[in-house]
């Protein structure tokens, strides 16, 4: 098994606490509301929403995939860190065992820097193609921008 690690950074004009509340703590409600073409629904299959919880994310009509299952690995509300792994679904190919993500929001001026680290755990000696990672980064960036725009339009939300 190999592990391939990729790091990305995005910037936002939204402060970390507000962005974390929207993007992490209420994502299951917010994202289907503002981006139903990306995520149709989320359901908790096991757990209480904390560490160890398994969620099924059902993608919208415009998505390449139908669903994935996430396992929450860590939630640090004080430091704005969220960790989860994609453990099942059609976004996981026969060559990938799981993909683990860590997202950390860091204050930067009046906004945030969103630091994302992805660990692709492969089966055997398979290498991850750069275009696969780039496509995932573009989708994440687009989703961040949708959430950012929602928060800019709704000044009282998630304060």
Give the highest mean pLDDT range of 60-64, 70-74, 141-145. Answer: 70-74
> What is the average per-residue pLDDT within 98-116?
95
Cβ distance 144 to 4 under 8 Å? Answer: no
Helix, strand counts (H, E) of the chain: 3, 7
pLDDT grade, residue 38 (50/70/90)? confident
Q: Which residue has the tokens 């415009």?
A: 62
pLDDT recorded at residue 96: 87
Is residue 124 within 8 Å of residue 3, measured between CB atoms?
Answer: no
Predicted confidence (pLDDT) at residue 125 exceeds the cutoff of 90: no
Average the pLDDT over 101-110 and give the result. Answer: 96
Domain 2-153 is found in CATH 1.10.3720.10: no
8 A C-beta contact, residue 69 and residue 52: no
């Amino acid at each position: 098994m190999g592990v391939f690690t990729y790091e990305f950074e995005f910037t936002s004009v939204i402060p970390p606490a507000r962005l974390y509340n929207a993007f992490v703590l209420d994502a299951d409600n917010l994202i289907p509301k503002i981006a139903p073409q990306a995520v149709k629904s989320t359901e908790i299959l096991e757990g209480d929403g904390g560490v160890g919880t398994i969620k099924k994310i059902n993608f919208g009509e415009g998505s390449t995939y139908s669903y994935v299952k996430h396992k929450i690995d860590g939630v640090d509300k004080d430091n704005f860190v969220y960790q989860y792994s994609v453990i099942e679904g059609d976004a996981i190919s026969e060559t990938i065992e799981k993909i683990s993500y860590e997202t950390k929001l860091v204050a930067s001026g009046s906004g945030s820097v969103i630091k994302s680290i992805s660990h692709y755990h492969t089966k055997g000696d398979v290498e991850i193609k750069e275009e696969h990672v780039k496509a995932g980064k573009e989708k994440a960036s687009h989703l961040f921008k949708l959430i950012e725009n929602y928060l800019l339009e709704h000044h009282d939300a998630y304060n």
